[in-house]
Amino acid sequence: MLKAPGFSRSSRPILCSLIISYFFGIIDAEAVYEAFEYLLRHPEIIGHEIGFKDMTALHGLWIREMVFGTEDYTLQGHRGSFKSSALSVAIALLMILKPDKGIIFLRKTDPDVAEMMTRVSKILSSQIVKDLVALMYDTELEITEEAQGKIVTNLWQSPSGAPQIRGLGIKSSITGSHADIVITDDICNIMDRISRAERERTKLQYAELQNIRNRGGRIINLGTPWHKEDVFTMMPNLHRYDCYSTGLILPEKLQSLRKSMSASLFAANYELKHIADEDALFRSAPEFFANEKLLYNGISHIDCSYGGADYTAFTCARLEDGILYLYGRLWHRHVSEVLDECLALADRFRCWPLYTEDNGDKGFVVREIRGRGKFGRAYHEDTNKYVKISTHLVEWWPRIRFLEASDPEYIAQIMDYTPDADHDDAPDSAACCCRILDRHGRRRAR
């Protein structure tokens, strides 16, 4: 049986009325003890009580492995499998069941860390967790210190002054940090898919974690694969749960997801395997540059969405010494909602005129641009999108460099483009810029 440290049959509950009345409807201490053990065998119940209604026995299995396991552990689950929800419950349980173990938690970026820390804090403040602490320790759980990136409870038993849990972005300086339990969650994301340099940076930081954990400590990893050479190649004791084994996504929803993205992206994110997309036009990894001044005095282009499933794509482009420098943004919004932001970006990068086609709106957008005192040019599109993308953009691809600040979703939509792709807004906008800047393919604009 699972037993928490410090608990004995003589312990008496202080705040466990919820456990007694809601789950079992009984009040004697022996039954409370059994209720306590039952909750630790089925921690998904805790998830249900704090609002994670989609948790199943599978999530309970994941939580138990994270809390009570003794070896390094890697959980690779498909997107939408509620891995992070299970992790938040596991972290809260680790903090109350193992209050002598310091934790370092890492995610890709600092805002991602803050989101998880807020979630853990709410779980620690929930009635059911307070009941468990009262039952175990005959005391009321308190959060004694909470700031951005750290949480300390009154159970914490370290004399070192370090926080009980410390949250960091994967790019943060971790030299000199130490913990008994090191947890990574989604440190591999879409940037690792589109950038080899990003993949290597993530791997270097992950390797450093071996120096962070204390002797006898554990590293727990959660995430979804993005590339066949990503950081998961370094993670041990891998447990995979694809979209078919979890039963969390209905078949009709899976079919919809499959149609909405390239075969290779669906395979990676939902089937947890890497396949070659035979129809992909852009197979080589894109390259990047950091100095935005390389875009100055270029042009810009907007591919407009007027609602529905389409995206609005915005591109800045400048050709210099045979290299095409690009910046891209993508919004799943109507063009009228993002036009001012597009104009601000064109000003920032000094990329004028701003081109847009007038087929669908009879020149409405270009009139709006000019009405704001900006230099807009309209053109009439008479080329098939696939032909345009597969000629102009494919030809330029080896010589294209993306500004590092570009939207990863914009670049991913280009890399996922196939003749059957549902979304082609980013590659279409980029191809238009290639065509405009290609002296031999220049279109007359008015």
Residue range 333-380, pLDDT digits in tens: 999 999 999 999 999 999 999 999 998 888 999 999 999 999 999 999
Buried b (16+ CB within 10 A) or exposed e, 296-306: eebbbbbbbbe
pLDDT score at 172: 86
In whole angstroms, give the CA distance from residue 99 to residue 180: 11
* Contact present, 20 and 35 (Cβ < 8 Å): yes
Query: Both tokens of residue 174?
Result: 């971790």
Split at pLDDT 50, 70, 90, the class of 13 is very low
What is the average per-residue pLDDT within 219-242? Answer: 95
Q: Whole-model pTM?
A: 0.76
pLDDT score at 135: 79
Fill in the DSSP letter of residue 268. H
Distances (CA, A) of 79 to 115, 218, 222: 18, 25, 11
231 has a pLDDT exceeding 90: yes
In whole angstroms, give the CA distance from residue 307 to residue 312: 9
154 has a pLDDT exceeding 90: yes
pLDDT score at 360: 82
In whole angstroms, give the CA distance from residue 230 to residue 75: 15
